[in-house]
Every structure is written in C-alpha cells, then in structure tokens.
Amino acid sequence: MTTADIIAFTSRSVLSHRLRSSLTALGIAIGVAAVVLLTSLGEGLNQFLLQEFSQIGTNSIAINPGRPGTFGVSTGVINTVRPLTIEDGEALARLPQIKAWTPIRAGVADLEGNRRQRTTSVMGVGPGAPIFFGMNTALGKFLPPDDPQSPRPFVVLGSKVRQDMYGDSNPLGERMRIGGSRFQVIGVMESRGNLLGFDLDDLVFIPAARALELFNTRGLMEIDVQHYGNYPADEVVAAVKRLLIARHGHEDFSIVTQQQVMDTMDSVLDVLKFAVAALGSISLLVGGVGIFTIMTIAVRERRPEIGLLRAIGSTRRHVQELFLAESIVLASLGGFIGLVVGAGGALLLGVAVPALPVTISIPYLLGALALAIIIGLVAGVLPAHRAAALEPLEALRAE
Amino acid sequence: MPGLIRLEKICRDFQVGDQTVHALRDLDLLIEAGEYVSIMGPSGSGKSTLLNVLGLLDSPTSGRYWLNDRDVSVLSDDEVAATRQSEVGFVFQFFHLIPRMTALENVELPLTLAGVARGERAQRAALILDQMGLSDRAHHRPDQLSGGQRQRVAIGRAMVMKPKLLLADEPTGNLDTESGDEVIEIIEKFNVEGLTVIVVTHDPALGKRARRHLLMVDGRIAQDDCG
Amino acid sequence: MRIADQGWMATTAILRYPLRTAMMLIATAIGVSAVLMLTSLGEGARAFVTGEFKSLGTNLLVVLPGKIETSGGGLPGAMGGSPRDLTLDDAIAIARGQHVARVAPVIPGAATISYRNRERDIDVLGTSAAFASIRGVKAAAGQFLPETELDRAMPVCVIGETLRSELFDDANALGKWVRVGDRRFRIIGVMQDAGTVATINIDEALFIPIGSAQQLFNTQGIFRLLVETKSEAVMDAARRELIRTVEARHFGNDDITVVTQDAVLSTFNTIFNALSAALGGIAAISLIVAGTLIMNVMLVAVSQRTQEIGLMKALGARRKQIISLFLLESALLSLFGAMVGVAVGQLAIAGLNAAYPSVAFRAPAWAVIAAVTTALASGLIFGIMPARRAASLDPVEALSGR
Ligand SMILES: Nc1ncnc2c1ncn2[C@@H]1O[C@H](COP(=O)(O)OP(=O)(O)OP(=O)(O)O)[C@@H](O)[C@H]1O
Ligand SMILES: [Mg+2]
C-alpha cells in the first residue's frame, strides 16, 4: 500500500464516523487550544515586561547600600552604618564610562497647595532620573542640573497628583508645601500608569538633597547610573565597585545591572510559561486517553473488515499502519483545530481586553501541535497492534 | 363495538429514495379476542409490517386502528409505550435477548421497566420460567442456552406482563423442527387459556395449526379462511 | 422503573466493556486528581505563608510612620522615610495605653560586625525586650535584650546562631565584645535556631537595644512599632486609642498607618485562593475533555446496543426511561471516575506531604466539591446527546438492526 493509499483509506474511515471522529479530535483540540492560549498569555506578559523594562534606560546599573539581603531587598536600604551618599553619586558620575546618573530617596509626605491637601509618595532624585523611570515631562521641564548638594526647591508632579491638586488649571510656577517645606512646581510628568502594582502617576519628584533633608537622613536608597554602550557592563561594574570600595573602605553595597534584572525576570517567566503549558497538557493527556479508547473500539468494530483485508492479502504490518495512521490523523486534526482556535482566541482576547498583553508564542504553538501528534502515535500503538494480531479467520467470523 | 383488533383502510408506505414502497395497502381486518391466527405469504408481502403495526411498534401511514376498542392512531408516544407494555407481547425470529443478562433477568425486564418491586418480579419471572420448563436455566446467560431455550426465554419475557395479545414473527424460523414444535406448543397452551395469538410463518404445517389463516400478497390480505 | 433497577442496568452495561470503562474512569480521574493536586499546591503555599504570620499572635498591631492613603504608593512609605518620624517618645506614649500589653519598636539596618580578624556584613535589628515574646523567639544561651526604659542605649547585643558559629566557631560567645560599625557591644545572648520569622532571618541577625540602634544609624525615626494588645477583643479599641495618642503628639496629624495581622492575612488569603482557583480551573479543562470522551463512547454504546434499545421499546419502555438509563450510565462513569480521581489525588497529596513535611498540602473542600461536581456535570451534559439519540431510535428499525 502506498502512503497515498493509506491516507485515502484512513481519511475514508475517519470520515465515515464523522461525529465520533470530531469528538475525538475535539478532545485533543481543547488541550492544544488551552496550551496555546495559556502560553500566549505568558508570552504576552513576558513581552510586556520586557518592553516596560527596556524603556527604563538601557545600560543602567543600580547600586544599593548594604549587602544583598535574603529577600532581594537589602536592609541597608533602610538604615546602614555607612550610607550611600550624594557625594558617592557625584564621584561615580565622574567616571569616564558613566553617561547619566540619579540618586534616589523615596518616602511619603503631605502636600499642600492650591488650598488642597494630599499624602503622596515623594521621590528624591537628580536631573537624570527620567531616563531611569522611562518617563518624560508633559508640561514644563524636569529638575534642572543644579548643584546636587544644594539644589533649588523645585517639584515635578505626577499626572495624577496634578489632576487631584490643580485639576485642569496650569500648575507651573505654583508654590506648594511638601512636608512643611516650600517648593515650586516646574513640571508635570506624562501619564505612565502602573508598573508592577506601583502607580507611577501618583508621586512627585523633588531634588534628592531636599528629600534627605525632609526625611532627616543622610543615606540614599539607591543610585542609578547609565554607562556608555561601548563599555562592557562587566568592566563598568568593576569600575563602580573599585571606586565605591575606595571611598567606603569596604564593600558595603550591592550592584545589580539592568541586564541581570531582565535575565532573572526572563528565566522566571520561562518557568511560568513552561508551567502553564504543562498545566494545559493535562487536557492533552486526557485527549490521548480518548484517542486510545476510540481506536480500541474501532478495532473491535472493524474485525470483519480487518479479516477481509488480511484475506485479500494485506500483511499484519499493513493493518498496523492503517490503524496507526488513523490515530495520528485524528490527533493532528484535533491539534490543528486547537491551534487555530487557541491562537484565534488569544488574538480575540487581546482585542477584547486591551489591558491583557497577549503574544502568540510560536515555539509553544508548534510544540503543542507536535505533542498532539506524538500523543496520537502513542495512543494508537496498542490498538493498532491488536488489530494486527487478529487471526484473519477469527476476525471474519466475528459478527 | 366488538373485536380485539380492528383495522380500517390501513396503509403503510416506505419511502426508499424517490420510490415509494407500499408495504400495506388499504388493509381491513377484524380479530376477536382469543383467536389463533397465522399469517403466511411470500417474502416481502408485508407480514412483518402488519405485525409491527398491530404491536404499535410502527404506525400506519393512513387508516385507523382500534385495539381493545381504543383508537390507537391518536395516542401519544408514552401512551403507545404503556399500551405495548401492558397489552402486547412480542416474540421475534432472532430472540433479541440481552446478552449480558441471565435468562431470569431477561424475563424480569418488562417488570423492571414497569417498576414492579424486586421480590415480586423475581417470583413472577421464576414462575413463568418454570412454565417454560427452564427453571434449571434461570441463571444462564443467552450464549449458554440452545436456540429453542432462548426462544422459550423470549416467550417468557413476552408473557410475564400477562398481555392480551401475543405477536410472533417467525418464532421458529431459526429453530430445528423439534424445538420449533416445543415453542409452538407453549404458545398454543397460552392461547387455550384465552390469549390472542398471531403468528407469522413460512412453515405451512405450522400455519395450518392455527384456527384462522391469513394469506398476504403484495400488501393485501388475499385469503382469509377459518377452516 | 425504579432507581435501583436503573442503576443496576446501567452498571451491568458499564461492566460489559471493562477496558473502555477503565479508560473513561482514567480520563475523569486524571482531571479530578489534577484539580486536587494543583489546588493543594496553592493551598499548601497559602497555609505556609499565613502560618508564618499566624504564629506571631493575632493580637498584634503594626504601626508604620506616614499615612498610606493611595493604593499604589504603598512601597516608598513602607521602605523610605516620612517627614515626621515616629519617635521613641511616641512609642513610650503608645505603650502607656490602657489596652496595650507591650510594644517593640524596630529599627533595621545593615552594618559590619567584627571580632578579632573576622568580619561579616549583617542585618542589625534595633528593638526592645518585648520583641522576643511578640515574635515568639528566644535566646538559647544567655538572655535576650534586657527590660529597660525604651530610650536607654546600652552596649549589649544578642546574636543569631549562624552568626555565632561564623564568628566564634565552637568557642563561647557570651560576654565577648564585638565591634559593630564604629561601636563596641558585649554579647549577652545567643538566639535559638528559628529560621526566618516575618522576613527576618533570626539565625543571621544581630539584636541591639533600640536606643543603641538610633545612635549607630544616626536616626530618630522608628521603622516599625509592634504593639501587642491585651487581648484580641480590644484590638479595635487599642487601634483607636493609639491613633488618638499619636494625633495628640503630632499636632493633630494622625500621620501613621496601622496594619493588623488580619489585614495582611486576608490579603495573602485572597492572593493564594485566586492562585488555587486559577490552577484548579486550568486543570478542570481536562474534565471537559473527559466529558467529550464519555459522550463519544456513549454514542458508540448507543449504536452497539441499538437492538437492545429497540427491544426495550417493544417491551414498552418510555422515552424518558431510555434517556435516564443512558444518562445514568454516563453519570455513573463520571462519578466513579471522580471518586477514583479523588482517591488518587489524595494519595498524591499524602505523598507530597511526606516529601515536604514543613508545608501542609491539602486540597481545599471547595476544590474537591467543585472537581467532583464539574466531572459529574460534564458527564451528564455530554451524556444528553447520546441518551436522546437512543431514545429517538425507531423501534422497528432498531430491532432489525438497520
Ligand atoms: N424500513 C423500511 N424501509 C423501506 N422499506 C421497507 C422497510 N420495512 C419494510 N420495507 C418494505 O416493505 C415491504 C414489506 O416488508 P416486510 O418486512 O413486511 O415483508 P415480510 O412479509 O415480512 O417478508 P419476509 O417474509 O421476508 O420477512 C418489503 O418490500 C420491504 O422491502
Ligand atoms: Mg418478515
């Protein structure tokens, strides 16, 4: 029998039980669709975060006080005997590799202005901060490059804070009190939305030195630096380390490059995607059980046919191939339908819920299809073997 | 109005492709309670079709049918089923026993369907099996019984609901002469006790044993003699 | 027809094809056990995390400086500063409250500790004697921080077990002087092994009096104030009283945030329950697949048992009876499958528990109920079509096997 004949024969028998075949294929289709849909969500999340993070300045390095803590966040961020200072940042900025930098000291304070009051997150930063936050001003300008030790008391508002305190009127030039001290509004940031649950619109930026004063502390929570792209990150990290050890006499800080953050996130998301794919595959497994059952039934029902085939000269091998082919056809049919439905569903979901990042992951898509076919193969082996093992006379006598 | 069965201008057409087969043509028939009727005729003449209509398994394309003075052409699906259950017993050429059930369970089946309690059911079924001479086979499955024994189980099943009418479609068609005779004797015994019996057969000897002989040809009753 | 009889008929029909039946049971069982196992993972994680918190007592209020009003801006408030500190004097005033049993202010930080030529970067926790009982930790040797006025700085410290062995090997640490930052402290206690309690690794930490921590880190503000109330019943009263106290001291400003264990716990509960539900939901998709299999096999059964159905009709079976016979058959299949699945799932969960004794994996009751109901519903829904098909067979044709 040629391959074409086998295909013709099997499609005939698949088509002769249309409802049964479609139900069998449906089992596989549901599994494949689930895998495709779930991994599309995972991949979408991955892409979304990647994009968010790549906006936050490439080639950036974060330096925190204290050694890396057990839970990722160093306790040194809160208090340390040897804090990171603005002077440290200035020294880092003088390194030839460094293109931009910002100190960071965050806190919460009361704002008063335009006869309104509000409690808001306050970010003490430097003029270079927008690169690292991936934000731009919508109105006015960002903090000017004053002397980092004694900057003028300017404040740049997040879009939500501006809405709440000034509505649609122009806040530029307005004076406001932050934690009792006087500041002048010189800019408003464009809306940026949430990043990992942190509302980037509900905050204000003031010069870091002013924030240290406000919160009555000397230590920064973080210094971010951006280096020129033509220096390898390792070399920059080494230079930063050398400089800070020279200044502190001691390695009492931790350094994380943006690449490291993204790599970690990537591997976490890879695990996540694999996990959801595995979860979806449970359905695929059940679909496989379905193919096995239906093929077993088919072999039993078609004993006379098998007997006839053998009587007119088919070999056991032929019979085996026929049933195996049928099982694979069913699985691939289901796999293909599942693929179309899953991918279509993912796209629809992306359109219907724009907040939900959806990206179809081609490797997982092909993987799901391949898995479906393999399942068809495995599920078909035993029934096909049974068919082949039937004695022709016995098979003919059945019925 | 007298008569257990009264047919008036019964037609049964089958549509096969674009061709209409007239299996029964304008058939009139009156059968009294307690009669013993045989139906004979060439293959394809409509004997089985008539029997199915009589047993309410099939409904005529046109015409009217009174069973026990009730116009059954107007009954609902469930009413028809209920009538079959209580008033009609069937015996088929191919027995139609349920293979995974024992002889006793097969006989019990109509009682089970009717919701009769377990104890009473077993008792009634065992009694019937005893009448069939099959008490020692009660717990055998059909594939462990001979053809004659199987047909006797089927008769037991038909009779367990004490119907008024027994319809048998070539009940001996699949049996050797000896077991065929056994089966017919059992049926005749029930007839003597008042059961109306209608038997379709190809066996002239068997047909002669009935008191009334119908000959069917081409969907019509060609001959009806009571001799 | 009686229910028992229907059940018996359906069962005999099911037992007639053992392989086919086994496969349908396996299909359903895979789905149900997957739901159970996955939800038990979520539940285990939830129990583990909330257990960590619960062990810290239910009559605990945590006071943070600064008021957090907005949902998104929580992070800097928790980590950074606030213009008006929560001071030790505030803590002392709060401790005087009538519903307050004891308070433990906390100032965490990082510092370098050295003993002779050994040096380590460590987490330092400035706190008071009450910390030990509030957080449920104790000293294995010597004592925890002494009971004194809160604002008194003393050059004493208590170290974690890991830290002790790293600095002193097997030598006795009690009474030794260590250097922390630019100050010297005498070791008066070594903590019992406790692992991580509320995100602090006790074994690697160094405890010093709160007053000393203020000097060491040159800060006035308290990072957290742990307040233990006299009982769980007075939590609300204590909270109101506490806010009034602070308001009075901060010139009418209640610029603090009070967090209860309950609030934190319920947040965790919500998150982990959602996780369990999502995992269970994904696994439950496979129950639909199992349903399609049941439907398929029931369709096969209907066509194989055509003559039997015809006979039943000849014997007077009603349409409803035939429908319920076949529906019952699919329901039984999915019910048995679900039961097998529950058994297998529970077995696997028992295995998980044996492998990881520290986490209590347990399929929540709602998951068991939901899995079994979904399996049953799926069997029934997918059973409808075959059953209707059986009921609408024409008896004459069915009998003749046409
Ligand atoms: N379901 C059906 N569809 C189409 N034609 C049918 C159907 N049932 C019966 N017929 C036709 O109706 C006619 C009468 O059939 P019936 O089975 O009643 O014959 P019969 O007298 O019982 O024959 P036999 O002695 O061979 O059993 C035949 O021509 C048959 O082909
Ligand atoms: Mg006939």
**Cα(C179)–Cα(B48) distance, rounded to whole angstroms?**
110
Half-sphere exposure of C394 (CA within 13 A, CB side): 9
- Which residue in C has a C-alpha nearest to residue A213's C-alpha? C83
User: How many residues are present in chain B?
Assistant: 227
- Strands A60-65 and B5-16, by their bridges, are unpaired
Superfamily of domain B3-226: P-loop containing nucleotide triphosphate hydrolases (3.40.50.300)
Torsion angle in degrees (nearest 10) through CA of A128, A130, A134, A140: -150
pLDDT at A393: 67
The average confidence (pLDDT) of chain C is 84
pLDDT at C79: 46
The rounded average pLDDT for each run of 10 residues, N- to C-terminus, in chain B (227 residues) is 85 92 94 95 94 90 93 87 88 85 89 85 93 93 91 93 93 91 93 95 92 94 85
**pLDDT digit string, tens, across residues A283-312:** 999 999 999 999 998 888 888 888 777 766
pLDDT at A180: 83
pLDDT at C82: 60
Determine contact, residues C115/C107, Cβ cutoff 8 Å. Answer: no
Under 8 Å CB-to-CB from C147, ≥6 apart: which residues? Answer: C129
The average confidence (pLDDT) of chain A is 84
Q: In chain A, what are the domain boundaries?
A: 3-52+263-397, 82-250
Q: Has the ipTM of the complex gone over 0.90?
A: no
**Cα(A17)–Cα(A30) distance, rounded to whole angstroms?**
20
Residue B14 in contact with ligand 1 by CB distance below 6 A: yes
Q: In chain B, what are the domain boundaries?
A: 3-226
Q: Do A66 and C110 touch (CB under 8 A)?
A: yes
Q: Which amino acid is at C210?
A: I
DSSP structural state of residue A69: P
Q: Across-strand partners of C100? A: C229
∠ CA C377-C379-C385 to the nearest 5 degrees? 110
**Cα(B163)–Cα(B167) distance, rounded to whole angstroms?**
10
CA B143 – ligand 1 centroid, Å:
29
pLDDT above 50 (res C320): yes
Do chains B and A touch, with touching meaning 3 or more CB–CB pairs less than 8 Å apart? no
CA B47 – ligand 2 centroid, Å:
6
∠ CA C285-C370-C14 to the nearest 5 degrees? 75
Question: In chain A, at which residue ranges do the beta strands (DSSP E only) sit?
Answer: 60-65, 98-113, 116-125, 137-140, 154-157, 175-178, 181-189, 194-195, 198-199, 203-207, 222-227, 253-257
Q: Do C316 and B114 touch (CB under 8 A)?
A: yes
CA B54 – ligand 1 centroid, Å:
15
List b or e across A350-383, with b for residues whose CB sees 16 or more CB atoms inside 10 angstroms: beeeeeebbbbbeebbebbbebbbebbbebbeeb
CA B169 – ligand 2 centroid, Å:
7
pLDDT at A57: 65
pLDDT at A253: 81
**Cα(B48)–Cα(C358) distance, rounded to whole angstroms?**
76
* Token duo for residue B182: 């056994």
What string of DSSP letters covers B62-124?
Answer: EEEEEETTEEGGG--HHHHHHHHHHHEEEE-TT----TTS-HHHHHHHHHHHHT--HHHHHHH
* Percent of chain C surpassing pLDDT 90: 18
Q: Across-strand partners of A60? A: A226
∠ CA B142-B145-B148 to the nearest 5 degrees? 110
pLDDT at A83: 78
Picking from A257-266, C69-78, C88-97, which range would have the lowest pLDDT averaged per residue? C69-78
pLDDT at A276: 84
**Cα(B138)–Cα(B103) distance, rounded to whole angstroms?**
5
pLDDT at A74: 53
pLDDT at B85: 86
Contacts of C300 in chain A (CB under 8 A): 20, 294, 297, 301
Determine contact, residues A322/A355, Cβ cutoff 8 Å. Answer: no
Average pLDDT over residues A275-280: 85
Q: Among C73, B158, C12, C224, which residue's Cα sits nearest to residue A78?
A: C224
∠ CA C297-C299-C300 to the nearest 5 degrees? 65
Give the burial class of C120: count Cβ atoms within 10 A of its Cβ; 0-12 exposed, 13-18 middle, 19 or more buried: middle
Q: Do C112 and A27 touch (CB under 8 A)?
A: no
Residue B21 in contact with ligand 1 by CB distance below 6 A: yes
Residue B76 in contact with ligand 1 by CB distance below 6 A: no
Helix, strand, or coil (residue A222): strand
pLDDT above 60 (res C59): yes
Residue B46 in contact with ligand 1 by CB distance below 6 A: yes
pLDDT at C75: 40
- If one compares C135 and A140, the residue with the highest pLDDT of the two is A140
Contacts of C196 in chain A (CB under 8 A): 70
Q: What is the pTM of this model?
A: 0.72
Give the burial class of A113: count Cβ atoms within 10 A of its Cβ; 0-12 exposed, 13-18 middle, 19 or more buried: buried
- Which residue in C has a C-alpha nearest to residue A334's C-alpha? C289
pLDDT at C197: 67
Determine contact, residues A156/A204, Cβ cutoff 8 Å. Answer: yes
Q: Which long-range contacts (CB under 8 A, 24 or more apart) does B33-36 make?
A: B33/B3, B33/B4, B33/B164, B33/B194, B33/B196, B34/B191, B34/B194, B34/B195, B34/B196, B35/B4, B35/B196, B35/B197, B35/B198, B35/B211, B35/B212, B36/B188, B36/B191, B36/B196, B36/B197, B36/B210, B36/B211, B36/B212
The overall longest dimension of chain C from CA atoms, in Å, is: 103
What string of DSSP letters covers A117-160?
Answer: EEEEEEEEE-TTHHHHHT--EEEE-------TTS---EEEE-HH
Cα four-point dihedral sign C368, C369, C372, C374: negative
- Which residue is associated with the tokens 């019925």? A399
Determine contact, residues A75/A126, Cβ cutoff 8 Å. Answer: no
Q: Among A80, A130, A77, which residue's Cα sits nearest to residue A101?
A: A130
**How crowded is residue A173: how many other Cβ atoms within 10 Å of its Cβ?**
9
- Which residue is associated with the tokens 């694979």? A328
Contacts of A69 in chain C (CB under 8 A): 110, 123
Q: Do C123 and A75 touch (CB under 8 A)?
A: yes
Among B11, B12, B14, B174, residue to substitute to test ligand 1 (most atoms within 8 Å of Cβ): B14
Average pLDDT over residues C320-328: 89
- If one compares C15 and A337, the residue with the highest pLDDT of the two is A337
Average pLDDT over residues C279-298: 88
* Percent of chain A surpassing pLDDT 90: 24
B101/C contact by beta carbon, under 8 A: yes
**Cα(B153)–Cα(B151) distance, rounded to whole angstroms?**
5
Contacts of B92 in chain C (CB under 8 A): 399
Residue C209's Cα: distance from chain center in Å? 33
pLDDT above 60 (res A389): yes
* Token duo for residue A71: 């839970």
**Cα(A324)–Cα(A373) distance, rounded to whole angstroms?**
11
CA B89 – ligand 1 centroid, Å:
21
pLDDT above 80 (res A111): yes
Ligand 1 atom nearest C396 alpha carbon: 1
Q: In chain C, what are the domain boundaries?
A: 3-52+266-399, 103-226
Q: Do A194 and C24 touch (CB under 8 A)?
A: no
**pLDDT digit string, tens, across residues C359-401:** 888 888 888 999 999 999 999 999 999 999 999 888 888 887 6
**pLDDT digit string, tens, across residues C214-241:** 888 888 778 888 888 888 788 888 888 8
Query: Which ligand neighbours the alpha carbon of C398 most closely?
Result: 1
d(CA A222, nearest CA chain C) in Å:
11
What angle, rounded to 10 degrees, do the helices at C261-304 and C365-391 form? 20
pLDDT at C120: 82
Touching A (3+ Cβ pairs <8 A), the chains are: C
Average pLDDT over residues C95-118: 87
Under 8 Å CB-to-CB from C346, ≥6 apart: which residues? Answer: C36, C363
Torsion angle in degrees (nearest 10) through CA of C338, C343, C344, C346: 120
pLDDT at C209: 93
